[in-house]
């Protein structure tokens, strides 16, 4: 079970949703576009839009967990955060993301 949390969930978070991945430089044509137009289109490396990812990163630190439950580091999804432990991956997917998803995607 330990490898499943650190492998499958980590892969899904990083590859499928596009958090903490290295993105290739875009063509110069795309750099001249208005940022507000490009925020709501899916990132080619992710199933989420740039705005959705930013909302999730903004809301994740606001979840308050009781003592005894693994807390999620404030910078989850960024390169500076470092690696999560298996208990933190479990807490992220089983508790934090469902709570945050209600607010982030609830009014869609």
The pLDDT tens digits of the residues spanning 32-81 come to 444 445 555 555 667 788 888 888 888 888 888 888 887 788 777 777 76
Domain-wise residue ranges, the chain: 2-105
Distances (CA, A) of 1 to 4, 8, 86, 91, 108: 5, 10, 9, 14, 34
Mean pLDDT of all residues in 25-34? 46
Contact 98, 90 (CB under 8 A): no
- pLDDT tens-digit readout, 76-101: 777 776 788 888 888 888 888 888 88
């Amino acid at each position: 079970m330990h490898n499943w949390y650190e492998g499958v969930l980590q892969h899904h978070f990083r590859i499928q949703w596009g958090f903490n991945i290295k993105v290739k430089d875009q063509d110069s044509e795309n750099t001249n576009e208005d940022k507000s137009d490009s925020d709501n289109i899916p990132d080619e490396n992710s199933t989420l839009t740039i705005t959705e990812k930013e909302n999730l990163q903004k809301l994740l630190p606001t979840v308050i967990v009781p003592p005894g439950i693994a807390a999620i580091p404030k910078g989850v999804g960024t390169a500076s955060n470092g690696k999560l432990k298996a208990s933190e991956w479990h807490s992220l997917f089983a508790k934090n993301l469902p709570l945050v998803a209600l607010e982030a995607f609830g009014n869609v």
